[in-house]
Amino acid sequence: MSNITFTMIKPDAVANGHIGKILDQITTAGYQITAMKYIHLTEKTAGEFYAVHSERPFYKDLVSFMVSGPIVAAVLKKENAVADFRTLIGATDPSKAEPGTIRNLYAKSIDANAVHGSDSDENAAIEASFFFSNLERF
Ligand code: UDP
Ligand code: MG
């Protein structure tokens, strides 16, 4: 079991002014931020990040959405990071997310769903190194 996960605060949550509240909820839940940056993704970078979904019907819209404004990317450290973070953010579709979860509180739709969270230890490692060099991780 690894102790890191990777997250993004997506363009909708950034545009709606929720960066501070989301980071507060994450750190209150016991996560240490070991890397963080505020960036505007390019189509190429967003397309590569979500390449696993390239055959899905929502892929093009997902990439367009992810480049529609800046995002916050971060690596988070805590015991059982991946599974606990999926619980903290709630279901992909915010209408199905448990009350009090980040998506329940801040997301409006299944596509604009406020945050990303890695789905496995393996993908957490891949996603963290996709965004951050060793010099940017603490
Ligand atoms: N997504 C979408 N429509 C769908 C399913 C997913 O727009 O029907 C978007 C949504 O932003 C989601 C992302 O694609 O967060 C990645 O999908 P995944 O199934 O990996 O959900 P997640 O792991 O983010 O909960
Ligand atoms: Mg996923």
The CATH number of whichever domain residue 20 belongs to comes to: 3.30.70.141
Most informative mutation of 111, 116, 120, 122 for ligand 1 (most atoms within 8 A of CB): 111
Assess whether pLDDT exceeds 80 at residue 4: yes
60-110 pLDDT tens trace:
999 999 999 999 999 999 999 999 999 999 999 999 999 999 999 999 999
**Whole-number pLDDT of residue 2:** 75
Number of structural domains in the chain: 1
DSSP H stretches of helix in 1-138: 11-15, 19-28, 43-49, 59-66, 81-89, 102-106, 121-131
Q: Which residue's alpha carbon is at the smallest distance from atom 18 of ligand 1? A: 92
Amino acid at 68: S
Domain that holds residue 12: 4-136
Whole-angstrom distance, CA of residue 58 vs CA of residue 108: 16
Kind and range of the H or E run holding 71: strand 71-77
Q: Identify the pLDDT of residue 1.
A: 59
Over residues 112-126, the mean pLDDT reads 98
Overall average pLDDT of the 25-49 stretch: 98
Q: Is 40 a catalytic residue?
A: no
